[in-house]
Amino acid sequence: MTVHLLAGGGTAGHVNPLLAVADRLRERDPDDTVLVLGTAEGLESRLVPARGYELLTIAKVPFPRRPNGAALRFPMRFRASIAAVRSIIEERGVDVVVGFGGYVSTPAYLAARAAGIPVVIHEANAKPGLANRLGSRWAAAVGVAFRGTRLRGGVPVGMPLRREIETLDRLAVRDEAARFFGLDPARPVLLATGGSLGARRINATMVASADALTRTSWQVLHITGSRSEVSDPGLADYRMVEYADRMDLALAIADFAVSRAGAATVSELSALGIPAVYVPYPVGNGEQRFNAADVVEAGGGILVDDAEFLPAWVEAELVPLLGDADRVAAMAAAAASAGHLDGTDRMIALIDAALGGGGRDGARNA
């Protein structure tokens, strides 16, 4: 029996691939133990127990960005976090630490190194975070979602995807998806989404362009997110919803997409062969532009700056594209060539290789 400690959390970008790997480990060998390391404040505090896994929490100790009281307290608090993980490793007989980034991953990597057990890392973003950059220095294996990710020892494995996406037969469920959203399965569908909270620029431009888009003979499925400030244009071929609790069906019926370029979104669209216009989130470190780079280079996506995604751009670029069925089909094939549906299995293979088939003792003696 192998004991896996999966470390990560804070955001869906860390938690969802972690849960995909956890589920596959449990499915493959129910006798194995899967533990999850996170914080009490992150998204994992709700999602991990709900999925049936034991969540072990440590204090959230962010790296200080400026000299202040928190910076003075950081070394002692950080050492305490490492010691807490080391205790978990010893008390629970952990064989391998699998990290997905986030606050808890750095102390987990350091504790695993001190305990002499292997570290395996998955980096979901094209621009790696601090924790994974540090851990990759001694990790037994490093999997990355995107080919262009610069991380020591990184092997492209794709994104570990949710089971409902990994096994989605888009053609088989297209009729069901059409009924669910009130669309015609015989006509193409443009999906627009900015994520669960929405994207102001995407929402505003899509609504302003609603008439031009529906004149193309395409239908529009617009998921606005919870913070939307736009109103439904009320057109027959335009479906606006705030939230889609069956996102698998939204992806099943989508023939083209307009979206942000979060790592999970790019990975799911590419894996399913859905071409897209990517409008990266304009705030932060610019990582979303890098997330879309592989599929854009392959020809399966178009990158448009947030400030440039305006009704005039839609009229001049997107509307003619949607009218060119051959180009849409070519982009779909190119998107699929840049994606991976088997990211979970590829990541599991890295874990198995790091363990060397010998469990705790075998890993230490390898």
| Superfamily designation of domain 3-161+342-365 | Glycogen Phosphorylase B; (3.40.50.2000)
Could you tell me the pLDDT band of residue 62, with boundaries at 50, 70 and 90?
low
Cα 91 → chain centroid: 32
Nearest alpha carbon to residue 181 among 215, 222, 212: 222
pLDDT at position 366 is 35
pLDDT at position 287 is 81
Nearest alpha carbon to residue 190 among 321, 91, 363: 321
For the chain, give the mean pLDDT.
Answer: 91
For the whole prediction, is pTM greater than 0.85?
Answer: yes
Domains 3-161+342-365 and 165-338 share a fold: yes
CATH code assigned to 165-338: 3.40.50.2000
User: 99 - beta bridge partners?
Assistant: 7, 121
Are the beta carbons of 137 and 152 closer than 8 angstroms?
Answer: yes
Sequence length of the chain is: 366
Could you tell me the pLDDT band of residue 125, with boundaries at 50, 70 and 90?
very high
Kindly report which listed range (82-91, 99-108, 284-293, 313-322) carries the lowest average pLDDT score.
Answer: 284-293
Each domain of the chain, given as residue ranges in start order, spans: 3-161+342-365, 165-338
User: 238 - beta bridge partners?
Assistant: 220
